[in-house]
Each structure stands twice: as structure tokens, then as C-alpha cells.
Amino acid sequence: MGPLKLVRNIGKVLRGGGTGRDVFLGVFLGFAVGMTPGFNLTLILFVLLLLFLNTNGPLAMLALVLGKALCLALAPVTFQIGYFLMHTLGLVGVVRSAADTPVAALLDLHVYCLLGALPVIIVVGGLLAAALVAVVGKARRAVAAVSGSDGAAGRVAQSGVVRLVARIAFGKDKRSAATGRSPLIRTGRVVVALVVVGVLAGAQYVYLDRLVAGELERGIGLANGAEVNVARAALSLGAGELALDGLQVTDPAKATHNSFQAEKIVAKVSVRDLLAKRLVVDLIECRAMRTDVQRAGPGEVYRPKEKSTSEALDVGDLLGKLGGKAAEYAKQIERFNDLLKKLKEHLESEDPAKDPAEEPDKEELQRRAKAEGYLRLSAKDYLVERPTWVIREAKVTRIEITPELPPFTLRATDISSHPSLHDKKMTLEALPDKEALDKFLKDQAGGLLKGVLGGKKDDKDGKSPGGLLDGLLKRK
């Protein structure tokens, strides 16, 4: 909106463009839309009210711009208000109930800045709207007084030239209409709102896959501490299926490499849980996963991590006797199992619900806010009665650590964000890929090594005297 357009719209307001109620609703709802952080159901409701109700559009736009500026500038303040309302005033139960209920969870009341913005919207938005109603009313009365006076100013205002210029610049004089009643809901506005909702829904559908990919890149990236890339995402709400192609996760300790990348990931998800902003995956299958792969270009690091100084596991003299690539293959799987064990311990130790009586530390939240942004900071992980995400079963095939060794498979069950709230025990295990291992063994020179590794059957009793590697890899 240019300066001339702005002046014209303000002139229309002064010439009676809308009643005091229209002015109040336009300013209040425009301010509310601007003050609401993020894209959520709360924002959608404010926008629909702004479109449905008979509001003053020009003043609503000005209030929206002001609200958005304050939303960004007052983010640390609204965070403090949200924290106070939730943890000090005792609204935890209300927020927890909303965060755990389908559709209501989409309101994002668990976001500190959104919850803290609501009283600001009510108080500041209400006062601002009331003040503008008073200012517009006073200005209209002043204009009416000048126009109706018998003095020189009145004669000028009533002259044909001035009235024509005012009509061209500001539109028809609507002061008489403004003193009467106008409908609260205008039919034309409802039609416009429905068209806007339809366009937004269509755009959401068209760009849904890109939006999903962007959210996954942002969410996993914040958790990982470094850039995450998704080449393509496809979400089918009807089938409850999410497919990802070309997932790359940057290693925070070595930005030139990916800590892991996957060719394709397919997940069966619960749509009902998505409406509660929970991710429940019944089955996830991952193909062609590789670790420590060099990237085309260095990834962005959000939170640097120190390089691991842990030594490789010593699996005993048995591996020394096996020797060669077979020993290295067993070491890699053993090392990967050790990493999975550490991951399991990390998920259990970092469970936000392991001590439900303890509220989140404000200083820790503020440190997170500097990394993630105040407007995104949420208390959902501390409030929910069920895990915010669960993977009931996962199977990752063709995990490749080095091209010289055969890939292996990872199987996992019941991984969750809140292990203490999940009713089943988490399992994580790396196993040899049988087909790849068979091919690997066939390529090795000599049948003795194959007998030792694969468990060659004895001609007399059919039992296996070997199978040492099998026994090692199946060891808990």
C-alpha cells in the first residue's frame, strides 16, 4: 500500500467509511493477526474473523503491520509472559489438555510466545482499537463542524470544487450511513473469506510436499544441530504415508560430511495423531543408508559438537584370529551397536517427562530460544501425557559404512521422544545383511574362512562347528 493509497483510505474513514464497531473490530483483529507468531489454527481463526466480520479494512492493515512489528520486537517479553501464565499462574493443565487433543493442538497454545501474546492482544489491541475509535469519531465531528459552519472554512468546504475533489480523492461521503447500524456479518465478506480459504487450501495441497520437506529440514536440523536436506517429500494424508528421497544430515563435528544419508525412506503415519501434532509411525523403512559421506558443499552448523574421542570396541582375540576384512566387518557392526546403545541411553536420559514434577528451567529455555528463536520455543515436550513422536517399527537396509565392506541392517522398535510415557520397551540392533554377507563370503579366498564365518555343516551330524561370526553378531 503506497502513501497515496494510504491517504485515500484514511480519508474514506474520516468521511464515514464504517461505524465505530467496524473500526474497533478492524483494528483489534488486524492487531491480533500481526501479533500471532507462526502459522497455526489460532492465526487462521483470527484471519477468518477479520474476513467474515464487517471490519474496517484500511485500519485493519495498519494494525496488522503494527502487530507484526511488535510480535518480533516483543518476543522476549511475550516469552516471559507465556512462561508466567503456564508455570507460575497454573495454566499447565489447560495447555496440556489442548496440546494432547486433536485439532486443539493445532492452536499452538504450548508455544510460549503465542500464549504470552494473547493478553497483549486483549489489552494492547483493545486499548488501541478503542483509542482509534475515539480519534476517528472526534475527527469526523471536527470535519462535520467545519462543513456545517457558516464561516469562511464552511463555505470553502461546501463549495462544489472542494466537494468534487474530496469525492474523487476519498470517495462518497458516508457520515450519515456511519451513524446507523451495519450488519455484523456481511454476506459479501463471507463469500470472499470462503474463496480465500479455498485458495489457501488449494495452495496448501499443491505445496504440501514442499512444506513437509521444509518442516522436516528445520525440525531435524534443530535437533541435530546442523543443516538437513530433503530432496523430495511426498505426504499422502488419505493413505497415511510419508516418503522421503535424498535425506542428508550434516555432521555438526565435520560440516564437510554427512553423519548419515539415505536414498529413500517410507513411513506409515497416523493421520489422527498428526491432527494432535504428534508423529506416530507404525512402520518406517529406509533404504541405502550411508554414514560419514562427503557432501557436495559444507553444511551449515547451528550447534558445533566436539569430535568423538571414544576408542573402537575391543572384541577380543576372536576377531584377531578371523583377520582381514571379515574382522573389520564385525568391528563395524559391533561399533554401530555400541552407537545404538548410546543413542538409546541418550533418549532415555533426555526424556523431558522422566521427572513430571519438575518444570522446565527458564534459563535453559532461554538458551534454546537463542538457537531456535523465541517465536518457536514450545513447552509441548514437557507437558504431554503421550510421546510427541513414536516409531513403532523401523527397518534400515543396506547401511554402508565403507564401500570395501558389505552393508548391514538396522532394526528398531518403539523408539519415542518420551520413553517413560511409552508402554513398550525400546529396542535397537544392528545385524548383518544376509545376502550381502553371503556374497562377501563367496568373494573371499578359501573355503575355510567361509566355514568359520558362515557355519559350514558337518557331514556327520549336520551341526555347525563354525558360525563364530554369527554367534558374535547375535550376542546381546
Mind listing the pLDDT tens digit for each residue in 92-130? Answer: 888 888 888 888 888 999 999 999 999 999 999 999 999
Other beta carbons within 10 Å of 79: 23
Q: Where are the alpha helices (DSSP H) in 245-322?
A: 271-274, 317-322
CA angle, corner 148, sides to 144 and 152, nearest 5?
A: 115
Other beta carbons within 10 Å of 48: 16
Tell me: pLDDT of 2 over 60: no
| Contact in structure between 347 and 446 (CB atoms under 8 Å) | no
Cell of 250: 550434516
Other beta carbons within 10 Å of 132: 21
DSSP 72-83: HHTHHHHHHHHH
Give the pLDDT confidence score for residue 309 in this predicted structure: 42
238 phi/psi in degrees, rounded to 5: -65, -45
Tell me: pLDDT of 151 over 90: no
Give the pLDDT confidence score for residue 415 in this predicted structure: 87
| Contact in structure between 53 and 96 (CB atoms under 8 Å) | no
User: How do residues 292-345 score in pLDDT, each as one tens digit?
Assistant: 788 998 998 887 765 444 333 333 333 333 345 667 777 777 887 887 888 888
Confidence category of residue 287, pLDDT binned at 50, 70, 90:
confident
| Contact in structure between 268 and 241 (CB atoms under 8 Å) | yes
The whole-model pTM stands at: 0.59
- Average confidence (pLDDT) over 353-363: 68
Question: Best-predicted range by mean pLDDT among 17-21, 205-209, 412-416, 431-435?
Answer: 412-416
| Contact in structure between 120 and 291 (CB atoms under 8 Å) | no
Place of cell 465531528: 141
